[in-house]
Structure 1
Amino acid sequence: MSGITYVRGDATVPFGKGVKVIAHVCNDIGGWGKGFVLAVSRRWPEPEKAYRAWHRERASNDFGLGALQLVQVERHVWVANMIGQRGIRTGSKGVPVRYEAIDAALARLADEASALGASVHMPRIGCGLAGGKWARVEPLISERLVGRGVAVTVYDHGEG
């Protein structure tokens, strides 16, 4: 048992009480405009603004594969922008997902979620446009988050 709760629904409308972090994977080239980020931007403008500024100022910050940016969007809700994707297209080097970067970002997220006393909510990160396999991502979540005592809920949309 992975210790992850799976539900049907929208990860931008997380279930439960207490502090919640909505985690998703971003690319390392500053692109924001397809996939789950559109649902995030429909609810809150701050995560996209913060991500774009983070990318724009990357010469003087930690922006890059494996990095994590937490953006508070409501009193008890944060969005975690995790850089876990190299570029946006599948090419000669394969799909954009980078499992080691997702793993590093999840490790950082575990520290932040623990400090906030937060549960973590997400779609099947890295498995949409990034082209990743859930069989590779799920164990990372189990080890990094569930293994640290962080409650994780994964949301699947009604379709598919």
Structure 2
Amino acid sequence: MSEIVSEILSGITYVRGDATEPCAGGARVIAHVCNDVGGWGRGFVAALSGRWPEPEADYRAWYRDRAGNDFGLGAIRLVPVAPDLWVANMIGQHGVRRPGRTAPAPVRYDAIDTALDRLAGQVIELGASVHMPRIGCGLAGGSWPRVEPLITERLVRRGVPVTVYDHGEDGP
């Protein structure tokens, strides 16, 4: 169950809840950011894998066969997980952050922007709403004030309803 917290000028609806349980009817896409090195297992992907095996299996196959496909920064794949529900694996992170190391954050804002632009075309065609955690801002190390305008520009301004989910007491 999600609780609406606020809708701000960006046109994004913020709720407290679980992004793997979209709070809307109709066609829905759960969007999230993946890395470009084939790593899956920490962060939001663990929640996805806890609900459906398909997003992880598709990501791993996509990575494994990358020499013959479009896998790379800015690429996306929509993976069906239920009727009228897809998971969008979006490559927006270069590498991964190793615990205890001070390497630069792996987030790549330009790749997230490209992925969101590609996502927009697909969700408009599906007539879907988009649901997500604060993409690129967890393990990828990104800044929400830099990601939010990308979502507004690429999705909201094109008429795509977007809901961002915050777990627990973290609000907008």
After TM superposition, is the score higher than 0.5?
yes
Name the CA distance, whole Å, in 1 between partners of 2:25 and 2:61: 31
- The 3-state SS of whatever aligns with 2:168 is coil
Q: Deviations over 1:56-99 (max 9, x none)?
A: 00000000000001000001100000000000027776200000
Where has structure 1 moved over 3 Å in runs of 4 or more? 90-93
RMSD: 1.1
Q: Percent identity over the alignment?
A: 71
Identify the match of residue 88 of structure 2 among 71, 80, 85: 80
- The match for 2:31 is 23
Please report the TM-score for the alignment, with normalisation by the length of structure 2. Answer: 0.91
- The 3-state SS of whatever aligns with 2:163 is strand
- The match for 2:6 is none
- The match for 1:107 is 117
Name the CA distance, whole Å, in 1 between partners of 2:145 and 2:48: 25
Identify the match of residue 138 of structure 1 among 142, 145, 148: 148
Stretches of structure 1 that go unaligned for 5 or more consecutive residues are none
How many residues align? The count is 160
- The one-letter code of the counterpart of 1:142 is T
Name the CA distance, whole Å, in 2 between partners of 1:46 and 1:73: 7
Identify the match of residue 167 of structure 2 among 153, 157, 160: 157
Stretches of structure 2 that go unaligned for 5 or more consecutive residues are 1-8
Name the CA distance, whole Å, in 2 between partners of 1:28 and 1:71: 17
Name the CA distance, whole Å, in 2 between partners of 1:37 and 1:146: 24
Identify the match of residue 133 of structure 2 among 111, 123, 129: 123
Q: CA deviation at 1:111?
A: 0.3
Name the CA distance, whole Å, in 2 between partners of 1:60 and 1:111: 23
Name the CA distance, whole Å, in 2 between partners of 1:100 and 1:87: 15
